[in-house]
Chain A
Amino acid sequence: MSAASSARENKSSASSTGGPLAAFRKVGKSFQNGVTALDGLDFTVRESEFLSLLGPSGCGKSTALRLIAGLAEPSEGDILWHGGAGPREIGFVFQEPTLMPWTTVAQNVRLPLRLKGIARRAAAPRVAEALALVGLGDFRDAYPRELSGGMKMRVSIARALVTRPRLLLMDEPFAALDEITRFKLNDDLRALWSTLQCTVVFVTHSVFESVYLSTRILMMTPRPGRIAAEFTIETPEPRDAHFRTSPEYGAECRKISAALARVMGED
């Protein structure tokens, strides 16, 4: 508990991160069809950081995310949880909004609470709070089909946040959105992370997105996925649109793009 709170105090100084939250220890994952998605994956998720898993398509980064969430079991190795955290304190945002089309925005956001057996009355203020966080307070009674792609993704994020998770897992959530919407959601996600002080593990194949969002980037090799390189993005907080055009941002992107090219060239 003290480790967690000290981590939170440190957060304002940007690059510093807290103690370990979850650790991959020599994790391998093979599927029945013989594909080895992950092999000897070794890394630690630290409390309160914004960690990106960056790599080419099919490098097993989504598989790693599913393993953290407990949606799949490692074939080898272990995932260790620290400080009483576990897969039940997780929010998950998929690449698609993955909303239930037959019900309203508010009901979609309430779903995790409903599944955890929290009564409607107790859930209502938390649903309202989560919708307000993503700026959709006025859309609680809308159906998903009435929303734009970006708004659907906001609903999906609100749904993941409604349980106040300690760890938020995001699997290329903005990959299908247009760039203008993606930039806006990047900004808003960054702001949410600062406000909520939760830990985020963000899977992406975009160097630019990962540099903009992350405090730390783990670059993965093509399949079978392993950690090829680690980068810490040291910039003052809060980040905003100015960061996107700053020389530091450009320098980081160049450095990581070059590293990615080397990783891709090896295989």
Chain B
Amino acid sequence: MATRPPANERAAPHAERRLRYLLPVLVFAAAVIGWDLVVRLGSIPPYILPGPSLVMQTLADDWGVLSASLMVTLKTTALALIAATVGGVLLAILFASSRLVELSLFPFAVILQVTPVIAIAPLLLVYLAPDTAVLVCAWIVAFFPILSNTALGLASVDHHLRDLFALYGAGRMKTLFLLGIPAALPFFLGGLRIAGGLALIGAVVAEIAAGSAGRGSGLAYRIVESGYRLNVPRMFAALLLISLAGIAIFAVLTLLQHLALRRWHESALAEEM
């Protein structure tokens, strides 16, 4: 970044960069056009397969209902992600400071992770209010990558740096804040990026499990409800919004990762080359 490479070397990455955006857009456009053609030429009725223009039309017409649902799902996802971050980081710090706690609790974190959330959701709905159950489901799936990545980061601290802190008589707190947390930050951010997507998945899965039991306001609930009513265009529109929400969450967390690490970390430097 500091020195400009010669023009001929600059041209190639630039061209590739353009292709990186151009190609997916072309593929996407081709798929949409193909979809539209199939619907038009086959005269497929909208309750079987709506064309892309009808989906967009529905998105605009039902924006009031759908945007309210989008906010509900996004709020659940955000709350779950925050709770997962707080819980995951605190537990990782606890694990790093006490081997006994780690040995006692880690297996249960794994069990929570490997049990499919769709199987846990109905039980949670028995014991918890629907909104809370959905939040807990999203939290369960988002929590593990943050815990395991942060724990890995805290355990990967350069042992010579540990020695150095010991040499100068640094206490646990100073070692944690000046050494452990900065060293674990790239690992944590990697976990957070995974957790962001998982929190959305958890929220959607739980909303579907809650179905009509819930007061039903999230996007996944809209899909289920529209399915019952054979309102297929609205199902597509809601699905589109869920995808866009997932992309937005990923983009925001990637940006966060880049901003936090760009000054020093290898992962951020690779992009500059």
Contacts and interface: CB of A to CB of B under 8 A. Distances in A.
Interface stretch (B15-23, B85-93, B158-166): B158-166
B259 to A, nearest CB: 13
B263 interface: yes
A96 B161 CA distance: 10
Contacts of B255: none
Interface in B145-189: 158, 160-161, 163-170, 174, 178-179, 182-183, 185
Contacts of A102: 182-183, 185, 263-265
B269 interface: yes
Contacts of A87: 167
B168 A112 contact: yes
A9 B101 CA distance: 56
Nearest to B166: A71
Contact of A116 (B163, B166, B169, B178): B169
Contacts of B163: 66, 69, 71, 92, 94
Interface in A2-59: none
Contact of B165 (A66, A94, A115, A163): A115
Contact of B269 (A88, A115, A145): A145
Interface string B113-139: 000000000000000000000000000
Pick from A98, A102, A103 the residue with the most CB of B within 10 Å: A102
Given A71-B167, A115-B174, A100 B269 contact: no
Contacts of B269: 145
A115 B168 contact: yes
B272 to A, nearest CB: 11
A92 B183 CA distance: 21
A92 B167 contact: yes
A98 B158 contact: yes
Contacts of B174: 115
A5 to B, nearest CB: 27
A99 to B, nearest CB: 8
Contacts of B264: 101-103, 143-145
A162 to B, nearest CB: 10
Given A96-B160, A100-B161, A143-B264, A69 B167 contact: yes
Contact of A100 (B166, B182, B263): B182
By size class, the interface of chain B is: 20 to 34
Interface string A108-151: 00011011100000000000000000000000000111000000
A90 interface: yes
Nearest to B163: A71
Contact of A111 (B160, B166, B178, B265): B178
A163 B169 CA distance: 13
Contact of A115 (B158, B169, B182, B265): B169
A143 B263 contact: yes
A70 interface: yes
Nearest to A99: B161
A98 B167 contact: no
A140 to B, nearest CB: 15
A94 B169 contact: no
Contacts of B185: 102
A94 B167 contact: no
Contacts of B164: 92, 94, 98, 111-112
Contacts of A100: 161, 179, 182-183
A101 B265 contact: yes
Interface in A50-91: 66, 69-71, 87-88, 90
B171 to A, nearest CB: 9
Given A92-B163, A100-B179, A102-B182, A115 B170 contact: yes
Contacts of B263: 102, 143
Contacts of A111: 164, 168, 178
A98 B157 CA distance: 11
19 contacts: A71-B163, A71-B167, A90-B167, A92-B164, A92-B167, A98-B161, A100-B183, A101-B264, A102-B185, A102-B263, A102-B264, A103-B264, A111-B178, A112-B164, A114-B178, A115-B168, A115-B170, A116-B169, A144-B264
Interface of B: 158, 160-161, 163-170, 174, 178-179, 182-183, 185, 263-265, 269
Interface of A: 66, 69-71, 87-88, 90, 92, 94, 96, 98, 100-103, 111-112, 114-116, 143-145, 163
The 4 closest A-B pairs by CB, nearest first: A115-B168, A98-B160, A115-B170, A102-B182
Given A98-B164, A100-B182, 4 more contacts: A102-B264, A115-B168, A115-B170, A145-B264
